[in-house]
Structure formats: structure tokens, C-alpha cells
């Protein structure tokens, strides 16, 4: 099932769906959607006599709107006169927010590589593999904001891209100064990166095992994955290298 984020689809009661445990309390169209795989999380206020439902499908937050006759459902975005999606805040609070705040907390409590001024006002967590070219491009993109003291990156090091990624990630995390070790690795990329000193690898292995547990828990299987807070202090996640049009949303105004 794929929902177009720009088009509000009208779905008849014969095509729709909800959670069996809630079957006695949900209207029939919502009930049928849940039976087809949507998880109905909560309701929210909507205009025009509609009743809003915050739902989840395959990890995606979806807004549903039950029509006043109780027999049809609108699926997708509903915009106000300012062009704002009225479901954005309810969906964050009910569906995406709790999951992404939990991911933020997991990152915050992990052993990370501090990259940039520890007092920089904007904190960005990024899942980084030593041999991920897009991780390095993301780091390069962040450089002007880091140099200006506006952004600090906190790297959750993992080893999933190449065979040597595991030992290099462990060598970085096992080094006495992880920030300097990451800088050394970046400076030596053209020569294969940081040397996997056995003593440091042994020390760092436990950290990398913990980091891999975190990414499994969060369903992460590729890098980079970037977590940042937007202007509403909501945790947002980007899987992959952010597009240049997203830089100011991620890093803040250009220095």
C-alpha cells in the first residue's frame, strides 16, 4: 500500500480498514483499514466535521480523515490556508515523535565521537562507517558550520560497509582520543584510513558491539543516518546523504 503524500484520496467503505482489538470502538472504514495492516494510534481534531486519525503503516506516519457520514475516509495531507499540513503536529506527537525521541536518547547515551565544539548550539547525531563515502561527504558539508562553532556532530561509529570497517571503527573508538583518531582517519582516507592498532581494536570492540545493537534496534542497515532537531524542536531523521537543499534545515542558517 502506497499513500501519495500530496494527494488526498477518497476511499469508500468497501475498500477500507483497523486494529482487531479496537474493532468495537472504531468506525467501520477505519476498522477495515486496520485489518489491512494500518496501526491506528490516536485521534485528533480536524476541520469540516472530519475526525482525524493518526496511523502507522510500514514505519510511515499516515493521516486519515473520517467523513461526517462515517462511511468514507480521506488519506493523505489536508492543508490550511497557509499551506500547512494540519496533521503534521498530531502525527509527530502520536506516531513519529515517540520513536524518534527514543532514537535520540539511544544516541545520546551511547559512546560517540565528538566532532566540533562541545558547546556548539546545534547537536547532530550521525551513524558513521569509516569507509562510507557519503558519511565523508556529509562531514565535508558540515565543515563550514563546524568551523563557525555553530554545529557539533556526534558520530555513532559502526562497521558495516567493508570487511575492514569493523576493525577501523573499533580502532577509532578504542583510541585514547577518539576525536583525534577520527581526524587522523579522515586525513588518511586516500591511503586506506586509520591503522587498526590491535590494542585499540580490542578496547573499541565492545563499543562497536553496543553500537551495532543500537542500529539493529533502530532498523538501520546503511549509512549515514542523520538525526537533528528542527525549528519546532522535533527530532527529524534522514537516511542517506542529505540533499544540498536540506543543509540549512539540518545545520541551521549558513555562517
97-108 and 198-217 helices, crossing angle to 10°: 170
Is residue 26 within 8 Å of 34, Cβ to Cβ? yes
**Phi/psi class of residue 29: alpha, beta or left (left: φ > 0; alpha: ψ in -120 to 50)?**
alpha
pLDDT tens digits in sequence order for the chain, 255 residues long: 333 333 333 333 333 333 333 445 899 999 999 999 999 999 999 999 999 999 999 888 999 999 999 999 999 999 999 999 999 999 999 999 999 999 999 999 999 999 999 999 999 999 999 999 999 999 999 999 999 999 999 999 999 999 999 999 999 999 999 999 999 999 999 999 999 999 999 999 999 999 999 999 999 999 999 999 999 999 999 999 999 999 999 999 999
Q: Is 205 helix (H, G, I), strand (E, B) or coil?
A: helix
C-alpha cell at 122: 546545534
Is the dihedral angle over the CA atoms 242, 107, 179, 197 positive or is it negative?
Answer: negative
- CA-atom Rg of the chain in angstroms: 22
Q: Where are the alpha helices (DSSP H) in the chain?
A: 28-35, 88-91, 97-108, 133-147, 165-174, 178-187, 198-217, 247-251
Note the pTM of the prediction, 2 decimals: 0.81
For 29, the 3-state DSSP assignment is: helix
Task: Name the pairing type of β-strands 225-229 and 39-45.
Answer: unpaired
Q: Taking a C-beta distance cutoff of 8 angstroms, is the pair 112, 154 a contact?
A: yes
Q: How many angstroms separate the CA atoms of 66 and 53, rounded?
A: 8
Burial of 156 (0-12, 13-18, 19+ CB in 10 A): buried
Amino acid at each position: 500500500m502506497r499513500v501519495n503524500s500530496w494527494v488526498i484520496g477518497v476511499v469508500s467503505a468497501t475498500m477500507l480498514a483497523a486494529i482487531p482489538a479496537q474493532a468495537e470502538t472504531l468506525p467501520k472504514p477505519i476498522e477495515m483499514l486496520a485489518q489491512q495492516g494500518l496501526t491506528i494510534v490516536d485521534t485528533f481534531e480536524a476541520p469540516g466535521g472530519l475526525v482525524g486519525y493518526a496511523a502507522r503503516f510500514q514505519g510511515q506516519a499516515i493521516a486519515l480523515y473520517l467523513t461526517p457520514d462515517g462511511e468514507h475516509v480521506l488519506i493523505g495531507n489536508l492543508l490550511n490556508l497557509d499551506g500547512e499540513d494540519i496533521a503534521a503536529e498530531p502525527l509527530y506527537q502520536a506516531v513519529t515523535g515517540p520513536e524518534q525521541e527514543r532514537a535520540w536518547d539511544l544516541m545520546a547515551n551511547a559512546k560517540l565521537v565528538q566532532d566540533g565544539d562541545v558547546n556548539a548550539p546545534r547537536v547532530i547525531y550521525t551513524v558513521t562507517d569509516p569507509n562510507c563515502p557519503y558519511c565523508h561527504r556529509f562531514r565535508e558539508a558540515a565543515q563550514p558550520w563546524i568551523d563557525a562553532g555553530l554545529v557539533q556532530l556526534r558520530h555513532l561509529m559502526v562497521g558495516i560497509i567493508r570487511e575492514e570497517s569493523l576493525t577501523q571503527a573499533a580502532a577509532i573508538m578504542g583510541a585514547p582520543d577518539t576525536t583525534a583518531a577520527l581526524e587522523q582517519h579522515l586525513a588518511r582516507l586516500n591511503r586506506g584510513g586509520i591503522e587498526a592498532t590491535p590494542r585499540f581494536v580490542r578496547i573499541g570492540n565492545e563499543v562497536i558491539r553496543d553500537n551495532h545493537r543500537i542500529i539493529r534496534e533502530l532498523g538501520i542497515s546503511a549509512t549515514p543516518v542523520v538525526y537533528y532537531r528542527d525549528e519546532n524542536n522535533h527530532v527529524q531523521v534522514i537516511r542517506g546523504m542529505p540533499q544540498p537543499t536540506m543543509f540549512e534545515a539540518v545545520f541551521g542558517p549558513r555562517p
